Amino acid sequence: MNTPPIGPVVDTTPRPLPARVKIKGRYVELEPLHIRHAADLWRAASDPRAGDSWAYMGYGPFASEDAMTKFVADFSTTHDPMAWAVRPVATGVVSGWLTLMEIQPKNAAIELGNIWFGPAMQRTRAATEAMFLLLKLAADDLGYRRLVWKCNALNAPSKRAADRLGFVYEGRHRAHLVVKGRLRETDWYSIVAEEWPSRRDAMLAWLDPANFGPDGTALKGMAELRG
């Protein structure tokens, strides 16, 4: 009698839920999102360059500071997604947010998503470290074995970010969602447990001050550091 193929045995212990705590890095501090962050976030969102940053988000842009404040007041109280405000050390001003979401303790799977960075923070060391800190929290501190990234299939910057961080493309969900009245197809990416150490080490090497020249340009890219 032939036995059908089945997956390997794994540790079935449910992973802990993330805690709403401050996380400190070299270039950035992550603070549990709170209504007190709304004023800084409104200023970041008021940058004339911020318009396109909302194109693929499920919310925004916001018509007024009051509208953003109401959104932040609600968003800051959800447990999934769980949001952190991002405060770059260089400026001391909250300039964005990001979340852990689709949290599945029994499957040891968790997603990094809902990433919104104001224009001044985009493509900075602080932005990269903010993402790294939550991935490290999920993988190293909480033991999640599947880290997920997904984005609108038309969102080229998000897809480049996933590739840069070492996420592996898994495929596309066609006609997946309706967002702001428009059909969305979704591209899926992941980092699994056996891949995480090389991704973590490359991110740490990229973030090392020794990897930057006098003008602040990275000497080696993350893909190069992964080898």
Cα 179 from Cα 38, distance rounded (Å): 24
Write down the pLDDT at residue 210: 97
Helices (H), 29-155: 38-45, 65-75, 125-136
Contacts 24+ apart (CB under 8 A), 221-225: 221/164, 222/164, 222/165, 222/166, 223/163, 223/164, 223/166, 225/201
Q: What is the pTM of this model?
A: 0.97
Length reported for the chain: 227
Burial level of 183, CB count in 10 A (0-12/13-18/19+)? exposed
Q: What is the pLDDT of residues 149-165, one digit of tens each?
A: 999 999 999 999 999 99
Write down the pLDDT at residue 163: 98
Tokens of 15: 């992973």
Tokens of 104: 């599945």
Q: Calculate the average pLDDT of the chain.
A: 97
**Which residue segments constitute the domains of the chain, with CATH numbers given?**
23-226 (3.40.630.30)
Sign, Cα dihedral of 191, 99, 161, 224: negative
For 200, residues 6+ apart whose C-beta sits below 8 A from its C-beta are: 132, 135, 136, 139, 140
Tokens of 124: 């900075």
pLDDT-derived band at 19 (thresholds 50, 70, 90) equals: very high
The greatest distance separating any two alpha carbons of the chain, rounded to the nearest whole angstrom, comes to: 68
Q: What is the pLDDT of residues 175-208, one digit of tens each?
A: 999 999 999 999 999 999 999 999 999 999 999 9
Q: CB–CB of 128/141 below 8 Å?
A: no
Helices (H), 3-149: 38-45, 65-75, 125-136
Q: What is the pLDDT of residues 28-72, one digit of tens each?
A: 999 999 999 999 999 999 999 999 999 999 999 999 999 999 999
